[in-house]
A and B are shown apart, each in its own frame.
Chain A
Amino acid sequence: MIEINNLSFARGNSLIFKDISFSIKPGEVMVIQGPNGKGKTTLLLNIIQLLDPLNGDVRLNGQKIDSQTASDCFLYLGENHFAYDQMTLNQNIDYWLSIHNVEFTKEIINKSIKYLFGELNLDKKFYQLSFGQKKKLQLLLLMLVNKPIWILDDPFNGLDNNTIKKITTLLAKKIENKGSIIIASHQDLSIPHRKFKLT
């Protein structure tokens, strides 16, 4: 279970959010909503320990999260693309799977690619892809990197309806397997979820 206790964060002299508390049990989805600039992304970065909070803490099963726990448990997909422009799709997939210490056979990787992309030339350079395709490449990690908690920042942005359905299916499967998901999104999910509004 993830517990967020009285979390506050400030950037310079401006307070981004104050005294945020909620918890997420295994098998739950928490959708963080709020207007632009209210600190949704900052809250996610605080949860995964990429930013240090002003006050409060984040606990996983009662233990304070350190960098080792964060890298063992969290898969974070942010708004921006992380793939290398000069590499092909194939090379990017291989690179990021090696970074996440994941080893799969070509067959499994190709199946996952086919599920998300349909037919796609894997020898294309990353910069040749459209915004949606770039986003899909990141979301491919959801299928291949096995970590118990997914932290997703606006995962549906730029995706077509068909892909949104596929991603929602992936989220549903994750919940079935008792994983936890925290999503910052303006969109409503079609699977059972709780909401936390940042005001």
Chain B
Amino acid sequence: MINNFIRLLKNELSLMIKGSIFTFVLFCLLMIASSIFSLALRHISFDIEIPLAFLLIMIFFISLIKVEKVYASDFSEAKLQQYILSPFALEIIVFVKNIMIYLNLIFLFLIFSPFILIILNINLSYLISINLLLALSLLSIVFISSMTASITISRNNKLSITSVLTLPLFVPILIVSMAISNVIDFDTNKLYLFFLAYFLLNLAFSPLLTSFALKKLSV
């Protein structure tokens, strides 16, 4: 079982690498959006909070689009039937897919982040802090997005508006990120711990809810 789980991880990783072009395109669009944002607000002086909030919201949308794209193809009816009847619990498969999506997103974000920071006129001395902030918050964002995606892609759910119910879960991430950016040099270890705690909370219920929604709404 462990050998096959490792094989599964390896295969999921290669599957995710094949899907990197889409993520790359999404980050290119983020660069364009950041340029428009900076150009639109070029006459207004503001602190780091506003571009950071913009960045977080954009990352949330990128994560949502990426997760929905992966879920729509990887949890199509025929695949889902095989996953449900496999010896691995669907929750584990959901968890593995989420982690692979996270790795895919964070890897590309790390590459793109210096350019995005320059475009958004954020001091490059904040690069490591912002990367750390995004790396921690993205874990929760991906797991929240997976709940949203599992409802959105479902065949049997007539009201896709119900997927919006998961969006308030994103608000604490935004608030705490803003709080961190208010403190000079992002030097607030306790606030960083919030993201870890929030991720653990998401980890406890997100794979369960995601797989429940997939089973009940998509088969």
Residues of A within 8 A of B (CB): 45, 48, 50-51, 67, 70-72, 74-76, 78-82, 84, 86-87, 91, 94-103
Known contacts A74-B85, A101-B1: does B219 contact A80 (CB below 8 Å)? no
Contact A86 B85 (CB under 8 A): no
**Cβ < 8 Å to A, chain B residues 45-80:** 74, 76-79
Contact among B4, B8, B78, B219 for A81, CB-based, below 8 A: B78
Bound CA span A71–B82, Å: 9
Task: Tell me how far the C-beta of A75 lies from the nearest C-beta in chain B, rounded to whole angstroms.
Answer: 7
Taking CB atoms, residues of chain B closer than 8 Å to A76 are 81-82, 85
A178 and B7 alpha carbons, distance in the complex (Å): 31
**Which residues on the B side are within 8 Å of A99 (C-beta)?**
8, 82-83, 86, 88, 93
| B→A interface (CB under 8 Å) | 1, 3-5, 7-8, 11, 14-15, 18-19, 74, 76-79, 81-88, 93, 219
CB < 8 Å neighbour of A80 from B15, B18, B78: B78
Q: Which residue of B lies closest to A80 (CB)?
A: B78
Asked whether, in the complex, the Cβ of B219 is within 8 Å of the Cβ of A71, the reply is no
Contacts of B79 in A (CB 8 A): 82
CA distance A51 to B217 in the complex (A): 10
Q: Are B8 and A98 in contact (CB under 8 A)?
A: yes
Contacts of A94 in B (CB 8 A): 7, 11
A80 to B79, CA, bound (A): 9
- Please report the C-alpha to C-alpha distance between residue A193 and residue B74 in the assembled complex, in whole angstroms: 36
B4 CB contact (under 8 Å) in A71, A87, A102: A102
- B4 to chain A: closest CB distance in Å? 5
Q: Do A48 and B86 have beta carbons less than 8 Å apart? A: no
- Cβ contacts under 8 Å, A102 to chain B: 4
- 25 A-B pairs with CB atoms under 8 Å apart are A50-B85, A70-B85, A71-B87, A76-B81, A78-B77, A78-B81, A79-B78, A80-B76, A80-B77, A81-B78, A82-B76, A82-B81, A86-B18, A91-B14, A95-B15, A96-B82, A97-B4, A98-B4, A98-B7, A98-B11, A99-B82, A99-B86, A100-B86, A101-B86, A102-B4
A86 to B76, CA, bound (A): 15
Contacts of B74 in A (CB 8 A): 84
Q: What residues of chain A lie closer than 8 Å to B87, measured between beta carbons?
A: 71-72, 100-101
Are B219 and A45 neighbours in the complex by a CB distance under 8 Å?
yes
When chains A and B are docked, how far (Å) is the Cα of A180 from the Cα of B133? 55
Contact of B15 among A82, A87, A97 (CB under 8 A): A87
CB distance from A146 to the nearest CB of B (A): 12
**Contact between A103 and B4, CB atoms less than 8 A apart:** yes
Q: Distance in Å from the Cβ of A47 to the closest Cβ of chain B?
A: 12
How long is the Cα–Cα vector from A198 to B166 in the complex, in angstroms? 42
- Write the chain A residue with the least CB distance to B82: A82
**Contact A84 B15, beta carbon cutoff 8 Å:** yes
Are B84 and A67 closer than 8 Å at their CB atoms? yes
Cβ of B11 and Cβ of A48 under 8 Å apart? no
Check B15 against A86 for contact (C-beta < 8 Å). yes
Nearest residue (CB) in A for B86 is A99
Q: Please, which residues of chain B bring their CB within 8 A of the CB of A103?
A: 3-4
A136 to B18, CA, bound (A): 24
Contacts of A86 in B (CB 8 A): 15, 18-19
Residues of A within 8 A of B3 (CB): 103
Closest to A48 in B: B85
In the bound complex, what is the Cα–Cα distance between A81 and B78 (angstroms)? 6
Q: Which residues of A contact B4 (CB under 8 A)?
A: 97-98, 101-103
In the assembly, what is the distance between CA of A173 and CA of B74, in Å? 33
Are A50 and B15 in contact, CB atoms less than 8 angstroms apart? no
